[in-house]
Structure 1
Amino acid sequence: MVDRYDVVIAGAGPAGAQCARDLATRGYDVVVLETEPEAEFPRQSNKSTAGTFPSMMSAFGIPDDVVMSYTDDVVLESPNSYYESYQPGAVLEFAEFKRFLVEDGRENGAEYRFDARVSRPILDDDGVVEGVRYNGDEEVYAEVVIDATGPAAPIASALDVVDLERENQAIGIEYEMEGVEMNHPEYAD
């Protein structure tokens, strides 16, 4: 028996889980393959969403219970520039946000397979992608295949459609502190 879906998505991070959530809501038969074990998901949740605007949360139906804190102003910084917006923002509790997306996707009909490491695409005789191979010899087929694995990009890399340059990447550290007055008159600006 062949495992066949409308869409197969590699990766259950925000991009893959939101895509699955949206497609399942629209009635598509979706399966998401995620490397991490379900009992530990999300194990890699050390990222910040400090630039999330309430308007986007509303547009995507993101509940307030995944918000860690709200801010009055949002500043987005990169190695070369920054953007400052004087409007409210939110810092999402990233693990709760990812779990919400998966749970909501499941409630709308998306299937999730955890402990499922995608290794490469399956191509037909004409070189058209018709599915993916995962966990060694497991296969799943779909009309549409989406690689939402981030920099790992096993499907996109195997198809030679991505050239990730890592020269401007950096590691950031975020701390959550309680009981610290940030607008203290003796602190430097």
Structure 2
Amino acid sequence: MKPVIHFLGENCKNCIKCVKSCPTEAISLINGKVMIDDAHCINCHVCVQSCDYKQLKIREVNLEKAFQEHEYNIALIPTSILSDFKEFNELKEFVYAIKKFHFDEVVQYSDIEGELYHQAMIDSLKADKVMLTSFCPTINRLIKREYPTLLDHLLPYDYPVEIAAKRLRKSIRTRILVFFHFVNVLENSL
């Protein structure tokens, strides 16, 4: 996994809020400089949010370059975002705004999440132990890193967003960019 968070360092006050906030102890302060252990970082961004001096930053994706390199650009939006809108018109305006940002299509994948939740219930009932499911890569990295004894209880499903991206790539059959969660970018040429 590519490093996601980096230290700017210009105005760091060594307050160690980022160190204290990290759930995996991936951050340390060495000689007045914040060091991030990318092998332990789960990309939860809690440290970025905790820094009052804005000295930690999420690496940016050059979307303009990515748009130019692909023939078709799709934004995948998570089902959870749908609950942020009071009216359907608000959602339509949101989708329109995303499309104006050079996306050809905006897709939500609640159908895939529904299928996986249904399958999780079936698989959990068949198991002889309590089973867990998480469709969040950050939570799964946290479980792997901090609670490895729970790995045997984690249902082995692909993430709904990855399934949606694979289906889109298969159906569109051209060089596409699939952008999701406004943090991650998946690129693939067919």
Q: Which has the higher helix share?
A: 2
Q: Which has the higher strand share?
A: 1
Common topology (TM > 0.5): no
Larger relative contact order (C-alpha < 8 A, sep ≥ 6)? 1
TM (norm. structure 2) is: 0.27
TM (norm. structure 1) is: 0.27
